[in-house]
C-alpha cells in the first residue's frame, strides 16, 4: 500500500512560544499583577502567582523541549523585572535572562526574544503608558538598549512588539486588559501608532548594538468575512475591520509611511522602511462580520462566529486552518521571511489539538510548496499557562500543568508534535494514529 509524507525543510524551526508574565511567576512589578488583585478582573478569581515557575526553574521545561525534539523557542523579556523602578536596572534579572537564553542554546534550541508582550512596569502605566509618545518612546528605547547589550552574545533573533493591534484594542477598546478605561477609538489608534514608532526606534537601536541581529514583529492576523453571503454591507464592514486590524500597522512598517487610517493619530515621527528583517504571524481563527450602524469604532461590524462551525473551548474561536494559508499568501507579497510565531487553541481534554496541529501544518506545508519563505512554526504554547484575564481555565499547552502542584503531563498532541519535529514531516502513519478523521483530506 502506498505511503504518503509531507516533508518540511531540514532547517525548519520547530518551536513553541511563551510570554514572561504567563510562565515566570511572581512578576509583582507590572500592571497585570496589580490588575489581578482586584476581584472580577480575572475569570474565576484566578491569579498568576508562581505561574509555571520559570523564573526559578525554566530549565526543567527546556529539558522537556529537548525530549520533544524542538529546535526553537520564543519567549519574552519582562520589562518590569529589568527596570522595576524607573531608571534602575536590575543586573541580577538580566543575568537570569542571560542564563535562560544560554540554557536554550546549550540544548540546541534557538531563542527568539520578544521585548514587549502585553506587560508594562507599573510605573510606566502611572505615567500614561503607551498613550503618550513623548513619554513612552524614550523609555522604551532605553530599556531596549540595556537589554540587547546585556544579551547580545546569547540572542540575535529579536521580536520587538507582540501583537500591537491586540494590545491596543484589548486595552483601550475592551475591558479585558488593564487599565481598561472607557473605550476610546482615537486613543486606541494613537496607541497603534506609538507601538509602530516604538518598533522602528527599537530596530534602529538593535542594529546599532548588534549589526548581525534579525529583527521582526509578531503581528496577529485573523480572517474577517461577511456573515451573510452576498450581503454587500457585511462584506464592506469585514473589509474595514481587515484594513484596521490586519493591514494598517504592517502597511505603515513596510511602506515607511503612515497608513491613511492612522495619520490623524500618528506622533510627529518620520517612518522608515527596512525595520523588518522578518514578519511574525500569530494566527488563530476567522470571525464573521455583521453590519451594524452603531458599531462605527469596529468598522460598522459586529464580531461573531459562523453558525455550525467547529469551535475550541469556551468558544475562543473557530477552528479554520485554511485561514493560515490565506494570511501566509498575503504576507508573501512583502518578500520577507515569515515565522508563524503563534498558533494554537484551548483544548482541556486534547481531543481537538492533534487534528488542529496536523490541519494547520498542512497549510504551512502548502505555503512552502508555493515557495513562500516560511522559516518556522512556534506552537502556542509549550505548557498550560496563565491566560491573562481568562485565568487558568484555558488549556493551550502541549503539556498539561497543575498550577498548584506544578506537575506536568505530556498530552497526546505533544507526543505528536515531537514526532513531527523529529522527522520534520507529517506521515500518513501519524495521521492514522492521532487524527484518523483527517486521512481523506491531509494528503489530497
Q: For the chain (length 444 residues), average pLDDT per consecutive 10?
A: 87 98 98 95 96 98 98 98 98 98 98 98 95 97 98 98 97 87 92 98 98 98 95 95 97 97 94 96 97 78 90 96 98 98 98 98 98 98 98 98 98 98 98 97 92
Q: Give the tens place of pLDDT for each residue, 23-69.
A: 999 999 999 999 999 999 999 999 999 999 999 999 999 999 999 99
User: In CATH, what is the architecture of 5-442?
Assistant: Alpha-Beta Barrel (3.20)
The closest alpha carbon to 143, from 76, 217, 85, 89, belongs to 89
Q: If 0-12 CB within 10 Å is exposed, 13-18 middle and 19+ buried, where does residue 386 land? A: buried
Q: Give the residue extent of every domain in the chain.
A: 5-442
- Residue 16's nearest CA partner among 421, 410, 378, 415 is 378
pLDDT tens digits for range 204-218: 999 999 999 999 999
E strand or H helix at 176, and its extent?
none
Cell of 1: 500500500
E strands, 173-309, are: 214-226, 279-291, 301-304
Asked whether the whole model's pTM tops 0.85, one would answer: yes
Neighbouring C-beta atoms of residue 278, cutoff 10 Å: 21
DSSP-based three-state secondary structure for 153: coil
pLDDT at 183: 87
Amino acid at each position: 500500500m502506498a505511503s504518503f509524507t509531507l516533508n518540511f525543510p531540514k532547517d525548519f524551526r520547530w518551536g513553541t512560544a511563551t510570554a514572561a508574565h504567563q510562565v515566570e511567576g511572581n512578576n509583582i512589578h507590572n500592571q497585570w499583577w496589580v490588575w489581578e488583585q482586584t476581584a472580577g478582573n480575572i475569570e474565576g478569581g484566578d491569579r498568576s502567582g508562581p505561574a509555571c515557575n520559570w523564573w526559578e526553574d525554566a530549565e526543567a521545561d527546556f529539558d522537556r523541549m529537548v525530549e520533544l525534539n524542538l529546535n526553537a523557542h520564543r519567549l519574552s523579556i519582562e520589562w518590569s523585572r529589568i527596570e522595576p523602578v524607573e531608571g534602575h536596572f536590575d543586573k541580577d534579572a538580566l543575568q537570569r535572562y542571560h542564563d535562560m537564553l544560554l540554557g536554550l542554546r546549550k540544548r540546541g534550541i534557538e531563542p527568539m526574544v520578544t521585548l514587549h508582550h502585553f506587560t508594562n512596569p507599573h510605573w510606566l502605566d502611572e505615567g500614561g503608558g503607551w498613550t503618550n509618545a513623548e513619554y513612552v518612546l524614550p523609555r522604551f528605547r532605553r530599556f531596549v538598549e540595556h537589554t540587547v547589550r546585556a544579551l547580545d552574545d546569547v540572542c540575535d533573533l529579536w521580536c520587538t512588539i507582540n501583537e500591537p493591534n491586540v494590545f491596543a484594542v484589548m486595552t483601550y477598546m475592551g475591558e479585558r486588559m488593564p487599565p481598561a478605561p472607557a473605550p476610546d477609538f482615537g486613543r486606541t489608534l494613537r496607541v497603534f501608532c506609538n507601538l509602530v514608532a516604538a518598533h522602528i526606534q527599537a530596530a534602529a537601536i538593535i542594529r546599532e548594538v548588534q549589526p548581525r541581529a534579525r529583527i521582526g514583529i509578531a503581528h496577529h492576523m485573523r480572517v474577517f468575512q461577511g456573515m451573510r453571503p452576498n450581503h454587500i454591507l457585511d462584506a464592506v464592514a469585514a473589509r474595514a475591520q481587515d484594513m484596521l486590524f490586519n493591514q494598517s500597522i504592517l502597511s505603515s512598517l513596510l511602506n515607511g509611511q503612515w497608513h491613511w487610517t492612522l495619520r490623524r493619530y500618528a506622533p510627529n515621527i518620520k517612518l522608515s522602511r527596512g525595520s523588518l528583517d522578518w514578519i511574525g504571524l500569530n494566527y488563530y481563527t476567522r470571525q464573521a462580520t455583521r453590519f451594524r450602524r452603531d458599531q462605527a469604532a469596529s468598522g460598522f461590524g459586529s464580531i461573531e462566529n459562523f453558525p455550525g462551525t467547529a469551535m475550541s473551548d469556551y468558544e475562543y474561536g473557530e477552528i479554520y486552518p485554511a485561514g493560515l494559508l490565506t494570511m501566509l499568501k498575503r504576507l508573501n507579497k512583502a518578500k520577507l521571511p515569515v515565522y508563524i510565531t503563534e498558533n494554537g487553541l484551548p483544548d482541556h481534554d486534547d481531543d481537538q489539538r492533534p487534528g488542529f496541529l496536523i490541519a494547520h501544518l498542512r497549510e504551512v506545508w502548502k505555503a512552502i510548496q508555493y515557495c513562500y519563505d516560511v522559516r518556522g512554526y512556534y506552537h502556542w504554547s509549550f505548557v498550560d499557562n496563565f491566560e491573562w484575564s481568562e485565568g487558568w481555565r484555558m488549556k493551550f499547552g502541549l503539556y498539561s500543568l497543575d498550577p498548584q502542584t506544578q506537575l506536568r503531563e505530556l498530552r497526546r498532541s505533544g507526543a505528536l508534535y515531537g514526532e513531527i519535529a523529529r522527522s520534520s514531516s507529517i506521515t500518513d502513519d501519524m495521521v492514522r494514529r492521532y487524527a484518523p478523521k483527517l486521512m481523506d483530506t491531509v494528503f489530497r
